Chains A and B, each alone.
Chain A
Amino acid sequence: MSPRTVPASPDPSAPPIPVGLERWQLLELYRFLRLTRTLEERLTALYRQSKVIGGLFRSLGQEGESVASAYALERGRNKDMLSPLIRNLGSMLVMGAQPVEILRQYMAKADSPTHGRELNVHFNDLEKGYLGQISHLGDMVPVMAGIALTFKMRGERRVGLVYIGDGGTSTGAFHEGLNFAAVQRLPLVVIGEYNGYAYSTPPEKQFAVKDLAEKAKGYGVPAVTVDGNDVLAVYAATKHAADRARQGKGVHFIEVKTFRRKGHAEHDDQHYVSKEEIERWATTNDPIDRFVATLLDFGWAEPAELSRVDQQVKDEVDQATDACADEPLPSPETALPGVYADPPAAERLWYRSVSDA
């Protein structure tokens, strides 16, 4: 989507679009939201067919904050950089990760970005601007602080963004990293995702403050709490934080309140959450439904345009699936190289070299 392919507003009486966005950008935001959900639905189908080898982690109900926050960054070759968590597929797609890469990762294909070595969204493309997480929550905060430190040292006007879940804010690494970034006044935006559950543990068993923002304030970091399912609000807050960071004003923390409508992973039946609560969020506070309503109510998009996007996204995910579903897994020998630059490969063990004769 680009300014050229999207005409001016179809409704001349539509109110102006806020926070400097243009109509084509609203449609692009919608495309990323729809792509995230459609791709995850496809992954669910592949999981049920046992083609997804490991766990499957859904961001259902919180796609809005992932997409909107990433969309507020400067994107393109060697621009801003973010580090996504397991439920930030949307942010990776915004930065330029391809659906076929995600599908290959989940299915452990030889041609996946990590050649079958790592799971799901744990991969990176530093030029496009995303650095995959490891499973140890909090660790990416110091690492992204180091990336932001590099931007600062080199005088580059680039910004880092890192996500942390409500449960992840209990880790030492989160606190060490946030404090280090605050002291160094690094160009870093931290998105604290309050989605109600860390695996099965609710926030009241995770911390004694009400809002994650309070934790950030304790480090002298300006912090706001926004409605995480309001796409434009998250975009506006992140844009403000990123602009501020780019001007050398240091770290900014944005707490996004949202809700995880699926279990920790696909195997988790979520019995610890009331069905009514899930239903309430699904029917009254879905980030994509809300965004669609905004677009249509204000006359910023027409239903037919959105349907076209839906169809394009479905075709794109179909094509990506067809392209990789039958690809081979990596050959066993490829497990050995690449632990170090030098030596280039680990040694094959002797009993794997002894002939049967």
Chain B
Amino acid sequence: MPEITFLEALRQGLWEEMERDERVFILGEDVGAYGGAFKVTEGFQKRFGEARVIDTPIAEAAIVGAAAGAAHMGMRPVAEMQFIDFISCAYDMLTNYVATARYRAGLSTPMVVRGPCGGYVRGGPFHSQNPEAAFLHTPGLKIVYPATVRDAKGLIKSAIRDEDPVLYLEHKWLYRRIKEQVAEGEEILTPIGQARVAREGKHLSVITYGATVWKSLEAAAQLEKEDGLSVEVIDLRSLLPMDDAAIMTTVKKTSKVLIVHEDTRTGGVAGEIAARINEQAFEWLDGPIMRVTAHDVPIPYAPTLEDFVLPQTEDIVTAARWLANY
């Protein structure tokens, strides 16, 4: 079985869906001749033509708006944000137009907006963001955030086939860092809305998603070795809808919860998860629900600064130890 990267898995998923369904097309900045800033769509224009792999002006509202119009007409557009930081330029279009379309007007808008997110890569304030919290608050959107090679492929395919608009967040730190064996031609469809147990454990649960799944796994291995702690790691995979059942299952199993995300703290996804646990599994808790997140500052450029601001494996180890001893 060939070993492929996260990026290659995403690419394969896109490619397979383009081959399978002629309604699928890609639009975005530099996605065509250049193949995308990270080469996710390299070779696509050659194979599928300029009509299905469209280089657009630098205009995120137009990209998302045009995708929505095409989706109403039965197409399956995949809009790329060159860096997900620029999705804020299409915030109005996504939250006001796209997200409300089915509810307010019965319009079907099956489309995907995807793009590289996240830090740990010295990208500075505008090439490191995690925008999920800004959209979690918007009924009508779905948000997926794969952490593994299989899910990179399985979630892009499910997102393209979904009847509703899906934001697909792909962490650029994972693009070429993680590899996994995937059988050629294997149809992978990761269900949207289902979390995954990334590591079984019994003393404490870490609930996380994206790049920090890997940092949490690293922390869990260290804690087992050094402290004899058995840490369960839950990879949410989908943030909207969120898998409440999986969250409550792990809470009831370990009774101690650490929520880890790379995004900044205030108003972040962790707050929502904590509220749900409080409402649905309060009596199962043996300690406070704690958070490991980025500090509440824009993401800085210098390695010393970025490493300080973003959550690191050591932070997770420290927080988990504190919680385990509570």
Contacts and interface: CB of A to CB of B under 8 A. Distances in A.
Interface of A: 114, 117-118, 122-124, 126, 131-132, 134-136, 139, 141-150, 152-153, 172-173, 176-177, 179-180, 183-184, 338-343, 346, 350
B104 interface: yes
Nearest to B56: A180
Contacts of A153: 25, 51-52, 70, 75
Contacts of B164: 340-342
A180 B97 contact: no
Contacts of A346: 139
Interface string B59-103: 101111111111111110100000000000000110011001011
Interface string B162-174: 1110000000000
A147 B70 contact: yes
Contacts of B97: 134, 136, 139, 143
Contact of B69 (A114, A147, A341, A343): A147
B70 A124 contact: no
Nearest to A126: B72
Contacts of A117: 103-105
B51 A173 contact: no
B69 A180 contact: no
Contacts of A134: 96-97, 100, 104
A145 B105 CA distance: 19
24 contacts: A114-B105, A131-B72, A139-B92, A139-B97, A141-B65, A142-B63, A142-B65, A142-B66, A145-B66, A146-B65, A147-B72, A149-B69, A150-B73, A153-B25, A153-B75, A172-B61, A176-B61, A177-B61, A179-B57, A179-B59, A183-B56, A183-B57, A340-B140, A341-B164
A147 B92 contact: no
A83 to B, nearest CB: 9
B194 interface: no
CB-based closest 7 A-B pairs? A146-B69, A142-B65, A146-B66, A341-B163, A176-B62, A176-B59, A180-B62
Interface string B132-161: 000000011010000000000000000000
What band does the interface of chain B fall in when counting residues whose beta carbon is under 8 Å from A? 35 or more
A141 B67 CA distance: 12
B104 A122 contact: yes
Nearest to B139: A339
B283 to A, nearest CB: 16
Interface of B: 25, 51-52, 54, 56-57, 59, 61-75, 77, 92-93, 96-97, 100, 102-108, 139-140, 142, 162-164, 241, 279
Given A117-B103, A145-B62, A338-B102, A180 B70 contact: no
Contacts of A143: 65-66, 68-69, 72, 97
B93 A124 contact: no
Contacts of B104: 114, 117-118, 122, 134
Nearest to B99: A339
A150 B75 contact: yes
Contacts of A132: 105
Given A143-B69, A145-B62, A146-B65, A118 B105 contact: yes
Q: Which of B59, B73, B96 has the most CB of A within 10 A?
A: B73
A295 to B, nearest CB: 37
A352 B140 CA distance: 22
Contacts of A340: 102, 140, 142, 163-164
